[in-house]
């Protein structure tokens, strides 16, 4: 996926879910709007915002999506429709915390990093080299996948 996004500080949950789907989504928090605009421009990112003032002031040469909805499902549907997000081939390939690409790792690698029960019952693991988070398929990822499939099959 080549599309790169940047979400403002009001869209932390949305940025995490876009990462679950596989989209390169930076979460910009705690800095002035001018820094967000500079990062978006220098990295070729589409801006996602709930801040109407930022939306109105950032249109010069940048693609900006004003997120109109409060609920996550509605936000994802809006972005899917406005940016034509249809590619689900890279689901669960990005770290939901830091946005880095995950690596597939062997069981031996994650031993001692995850609960023993998970180590016994799961065979496939993903790992973030940056924040050292381990991911595996479980009930949480099933819930996430079900919602993604529901939205993208509308």
User: Against a cut of 0.85, is the pTM above it?
Assistant: yes
Identify the structural domains of the chain with CATH numbers, from first to last: 4-83 (3.40.50), 103-152 (no CATH)
Q: Over the stretch 68-119, which tens digit does the pLDDT of each residue have? A: 999 999 999 999 999 998 888 899 999 999 999 999 999 999 999 999 999 9
Strand locations in 33-96 (E): 46-49, 64-66
Q: What local confidence, expressed as pLDDT, does residue 14 receive?
A: 98
Which tens digits make up the pLDDT trace of 15-65?
A: 999 999 999 999 999 899 999 999 999 999 999 999 999 998 876 789 999
Cα separation, 85 vs 117, in Å, equals 36
- Give burial (CB, 10 Å; 0-12/13-18/19+) of 55: middle
Q: In the predicted model, is pLDDT for residue 6 greater than 80?
A: yes
């Amino acid at each position: 996926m080549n599309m790169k996004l940047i979400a403002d500080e009001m869209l932390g949950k949305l940025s995490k879910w876009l990462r679950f789907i596989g989209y390169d989504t930076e979460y910009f928090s705690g800095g002035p709007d001018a820094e967000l605009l500079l990062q978006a421009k220098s990295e070729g990112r589409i801006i996602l915002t709930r801040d109407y003032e930022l939306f109105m002031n950032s249109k010069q040469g940048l693609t900006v999506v004003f997120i109109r909805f409060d609920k996550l499902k509605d936000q994802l549907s809006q972005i899917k429709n406005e940016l034509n997000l249809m590619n689900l081939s890279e689901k669960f390939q990005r770290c939901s915390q830091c946005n880095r690409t995950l690596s597939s790792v062997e069981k031996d690698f994650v031993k001692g990093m995850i609960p023993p029960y998970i180590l016994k019952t799961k065979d496939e693991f993903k790992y973030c080299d940056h924040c050292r988070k381990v991911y595996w398929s479980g009930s949480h990822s099933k819930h996430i996948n079900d919602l993604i499939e529901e939205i993208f099959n509308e």
